[in-house]
């Protein structure tokens, strides 16, 4: 099929180079039947439309070597659907075209090639030292070497495609598997590509690069295997695993689009900071690193934004917990209005009455009802000087006389007692009005708890902490990858980064692979063109990172010591106050010293006792919250990790400067390679450390 059948849409906007693209790799049979082309096109078109709808903020790029048959069918549909096309070639164009069937096929290839966004040739397999990193063989290639290049091309597609579309008949039998053929590429995708086609993996490391979207496709050379499903249907392989999910990449791109106007300049400055020490420095980035640098600038900028938001939210949560605990402690500890009212009533009764006297009859019978008791007013004269008069039974004629006499005596002393009573009753009234506010502390506590939950849920819904950690991990991975490329190292960061932290962090590896493809696709300078950047790499990476780690370790250690002193002070205050309170309440009954009893009574006063208890409890609460805050920030762990990395980078800088002075670029690159691996391991551990400390409302247990 020719490229003239591609009804290409008119582009409305130029593609951005600072968004993470999703690469759709293409592999399939060369010998398609004519009657299968139309239904295959519709199936592939539907797959592209599903991907565009699922990831609306992510540019899709087709990755196709444009071989005859399926490669060109899918590439044409991709162009019609508005996807960009990048063409990785297994060998130089002139050599590659020799495999095509006729001149018409070569013309079709050239026409599709002209519509591609980028075209590049993968490195020639290393058969000798002179071939290392080259894209053209030094000597005339043998058929086995040509076949090996097709296999290397398939391994590249299997490794760097996010989605691999395989137009394949499903026959994986060894007798039908050709080196570099579709079945071979599918096997690479599902089980990993062994050396020399891919990096050597640990026996314990998970093999495979991802899933395969298998479109069942007939071919001319042989019929479909028996018991095959319906042709042109799609099945995700392996069957027992779900397809890869790239929503995290799409969210990252959405954040970039949303903040382009407000943070675009800052992202550009952060990207330039990898290569320049001052704003006046005009060092230009190599063309093949411009997209990775732009994406690094955004990942670094966004991680800083979400870092500040996470830190602010963490402080808010801990402060809200403190004020909620304080409000509840006030409600619980301060004397309530009912308690005060009872004490005031009791005091008034004791002041105005003599001790209660039981009638002999009721005393003998053991009754203590109000009908059997009587009190003599303080101002009533005693008859005959024989002590207080015993009350008579209720209803006697003497009762009314006694009552009148009591009223007379009471009224006689009313004028002298009135002013004292008035001043006595005014104080409880004020206190009771203050105690009436106590229930509001309970409501304040409940409101603060609700606000805290809302703050936490909002932060969790916005994924502040996860975005901060993920974008920081992406920035650090890209930093190492960019400096490796500048130092002439072509090793892939993803071979050493987050390999054992798959799952939710796997999108970071996919993102770095996207940048690697963009770097390969625009690499026009050659393998060793960046050796002049070695001094810059040593300065902007090794020395700057050494200064960062040393300074960060010092600051974290200093802040941790300061916080621990404060924590110890609050703990000691709580313990000392508790001990003092226990002694004041216990010693008067053990040691009869005259000054202890008044102190005990003073401490037992409701308001004084409440204030002491509030201070004891809140001192312990503050100590616990500060300890939890330091644990949330992992300050102790940071002090150790940053101290170790500072020492490591310090030693590396000394050796790097010595090798640069000698002009030994090979040894300098080797040291930078080891330094990068250590940095990747440390950052992977940092991500896991903070993943184990999710943003939560502090609680007991």
Domain covering 3-9+18-244 in this structure, CATH number: 3.40.50.450
Count of CB atoms situated within 10 Å of the CB of 513: 21
**Beta-strand pair 373-374/357-358:** antiparallel
| Per-residue model confidence as pLDDT tens digits over 208-259 | 899 999 999 999 988 898 888 999 999 999 988 777 889 999 999 999 999 9
Range from 181-190, 391-400, 502-511, 587-596 that averages highest in pLDDT:
181-190
Count of CB atoms situated within 10 Å of the CB of 523: 20
pTM of the predicted structure, to 2 decimals: 0.82
Label residue 700 by pLDDT band (50, 70, 90): low
Q: Measured between alpha carbons, how far is 177 from 187 in angstroms, rounded to an integer?
A: 10
Sheet holding 234-237, edge to edge: 118-121, 84-89, 60-63, 22-28, 163-168, 212-216, 234-237
Q: What percent of the chain has pLDDT over 90?
A: 60
Question: Where are the chain's structural domains?
Answer: 3-9+18-244, 253-331+456-691
**Beta-strand pair 84-89/373-374:** unpaired
Label residue 424 by pLDDT band (50, 70, 90): very low
Minimal CA–CA distance to 73: which of 40, 122, 33? 40
CA 16 to chain centre: 27
Query: How large is the average pLDDT for residues 381-409?
Result: 43
User: What pLDDT shows up at residue 553?
Assistant: 95
Residue 87 has phi, psi (to 5 degrees) of -115, 105
Strand, helix or coil for residue 239:
coil
Contact of 168 with 215, CB cutoff 8 Å: yes
Q: Measured between alpha carbons, how far is 135 from 124 in angstroms, rounded to an integer?
A: 5
CA 402 to chain centre: 84
Question: Per-residue pLDDT for 649 more than 50?
Answer: yes
Count of CB atoms situated within 10 Å of the CB of 404: 10
DSSP per-residue codes, 343-405: HHHHHHHHHH-PPPEE-HHHHHHT---GGGEE---TTSPPGGGSSPPPPPPTT-HHHHHHHHH
Q: Give the least confident one: 124-138, 139-153, 284-298, 658-672.
A: 124-138
Query: How large is the average pLDDT for residues 338-356?
Result: 43
Contact of 428 with 341, CB cutoff 8 Å: yes
User: What pLDDT shows up at residue 381?
Assistant: 41
- Cα separations in angstroms, 549 against 144, 369, 554, 644, 646: 50, 82, 9, 8, 5
Place of tokens 């296999």: 151
Is the bond leading into 196 cis (omega within 30 degrees of zero)? yes
Q: Measured between alpha carbons, how far is 165 from 161 in angstroms, rounded to an integer?
A: 9
Count of CB atoms situated within 10 Å of the CB of 149: 23
Minimal CA–CA distance to 170: which of 226, 244, 220, 208? 226
Is the bond leading into 573 cis (omega within 30 degrees of zero)? no
Label residue 498 by pLDDT band (50, 70, 90): confident
User: What pLDDT shows up at residue 283?
Assistant: 79
Is the bond leading into 238 cis (omega within 30 degrees of zero)? yes
Q: Measured between alpha carbons, how far is 585 from 580 in angstroms, rounded to an integer?
A: 9
User: What pLDDT shows up at residue 405?
Assistant: 43
DSSP category for residue 696? -
Where do the H-state alpha helices sit in 85-240?
Answer: 93-97, 103-114, 143-160, 182-191
Label residue 11 by pLDDT band (50, 70, 90): low
Average pLDDT, the chain: 83
How many Cα atoms are found within 13 Å in the side-chain-facing hemisphere of 125? 22
- Cα separations in angstroms, 27 against 20, 59, 176, 229: 22, 20, 16, 20
Place of tokens 């732009």: 294
User: What pLDDT shows up at residue 200?
Assistant: 79
């Amino acid at each position: 099929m020719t490229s003239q059948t591609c009804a290409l849409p008119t582009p409305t906007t130029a593609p951005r180079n600072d968004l993470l693209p999703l690469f759709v790799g293409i592999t399939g049979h060369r010998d398609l039947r004519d009657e299968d082309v139309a239904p295959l096109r519709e199936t592939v078109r539907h797959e592209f439309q599903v991907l565009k709808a699922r990831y609306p903020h992510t540019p899709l790029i087709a990755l196709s070597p444009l071989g005859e048959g399926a490669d060109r069918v899918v590439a044409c549909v991709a162009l019609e659907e508005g996807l960009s096309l990048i063409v990785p070639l297994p060998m130089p164009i002139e050599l590659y075209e020799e495999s095509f069937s006729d001149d018409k096929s070569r013309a079709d290839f050239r026409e599709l090639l002209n519509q591609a966004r980028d075209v590049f040739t993968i490195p020639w397999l290393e058969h000798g030292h002179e071939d290392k990193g080259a894209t053209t063989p030094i000597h005339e290639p043998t058929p086995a070497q040509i076949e090996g290049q097709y296999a290397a091309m398939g391994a590249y597609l299997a490794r760097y495609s996010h989605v691999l579309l395989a137009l394949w008949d499903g026959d994986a039998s060894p007798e039908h598997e050709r080196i570099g053929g579709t079945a071979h590429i599918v096997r690479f995708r599902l089980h990993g590509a062994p050396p020399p086609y891919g990096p050597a993996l640990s026996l314990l490391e998970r093999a495979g690069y991802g899933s395969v979207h298998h479109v069942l496709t007939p071919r001319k050379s042989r019929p479909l295997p028996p018991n095959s499903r319906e042709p042109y249907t799609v099945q995700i392989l392996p069957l027992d695993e779900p397809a890869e999910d790239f929503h995290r990449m799409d969210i990252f791109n959405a954040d970039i689009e949303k903040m382009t106007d407000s943070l675009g300049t800052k992202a550009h400055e952060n990207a330039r900071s990898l290569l320049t020490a001052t704003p006046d420095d005009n060092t230009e980035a190599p063309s093949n690193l411009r997209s990775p640098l732009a994406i690094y600038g955004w990942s670094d900028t966004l991680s800083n934004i979400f870092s500040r938001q996470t830190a602010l939210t963490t402080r808010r949560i801990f402060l809200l917990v403190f004020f909620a605990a304080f409000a509840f402690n006030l409600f619980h500890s301060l004397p309530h209005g009912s308690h005060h009212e009872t004490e005031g009533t009791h005091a008034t009764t004791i002041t105005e009455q003599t001790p209660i006297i039981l009638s002999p009859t009721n005393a003998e019978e053991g009754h203590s009802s109000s009908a059997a008791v009587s009190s003599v007013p303080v101002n009533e004269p005693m008859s005959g000087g024989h002590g207080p008069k015993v009350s008579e039974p209720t209803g006697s004629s003497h009762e009314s006389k006694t009552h009148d006499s009591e009223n007379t005596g009471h009224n006689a002393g009313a004028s002298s007692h009135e002013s004292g009573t008035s001043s006595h009753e005014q104080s409880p009234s004020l206190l009771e009005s203050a105690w009436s506010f106590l229930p509001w502390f309970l409501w304040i506590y409940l409101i603060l708890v609700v606000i805290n939950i809302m703050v936490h849920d909002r932060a969790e819904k916005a994924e502040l902490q996860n975005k901060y950690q993920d974008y920081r991990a992406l920035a650090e991975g890209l930093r190492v990858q960019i400096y490796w490329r500048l130092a002439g190292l072509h090793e892939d960061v993803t071979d050493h980064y987050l390999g054992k932290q798959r799952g939710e962090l796997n999108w970071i590896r996919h993102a770095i692979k996207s940048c690697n493809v963009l770097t390969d696709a625009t690499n026009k300078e050659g393998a060793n063109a960046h050796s002049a950047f070695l001094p810059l790499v040593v300065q902007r990476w090794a020395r700057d990172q050494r200064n960062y780690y040393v300074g960060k370790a010092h600051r974290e250690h200093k802040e941790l010591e300061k916080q621990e002193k404060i924590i110890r002070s609050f703990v000691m205050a709580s313990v000392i106050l508790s001990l003092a309170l226990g002694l004041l309440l216990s010693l008067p009954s053990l040691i009869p010293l005259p000054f202890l009893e008044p102190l005990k009574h003073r401490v037992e006063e409701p308001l004084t006792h409440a204030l002491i208890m509030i201070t004891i409890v809140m001192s312990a609460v503050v100590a616990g919250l500060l300890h939890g805050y330091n644990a949330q920030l992992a300050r102790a762990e940071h002090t150790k990790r940053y101290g170790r990395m500072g020492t490591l980078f310090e030693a590396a800088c000394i050796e790097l400067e010595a090798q640069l002075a000698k002009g030994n670029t090979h040894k300098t690159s080797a040291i930078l390679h080891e330094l990068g691996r250590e940095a990747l391991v440390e950052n992977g551990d940092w991500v896991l450390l903070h993943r184990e400390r999710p943003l939560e409302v502090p609680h007991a247990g």
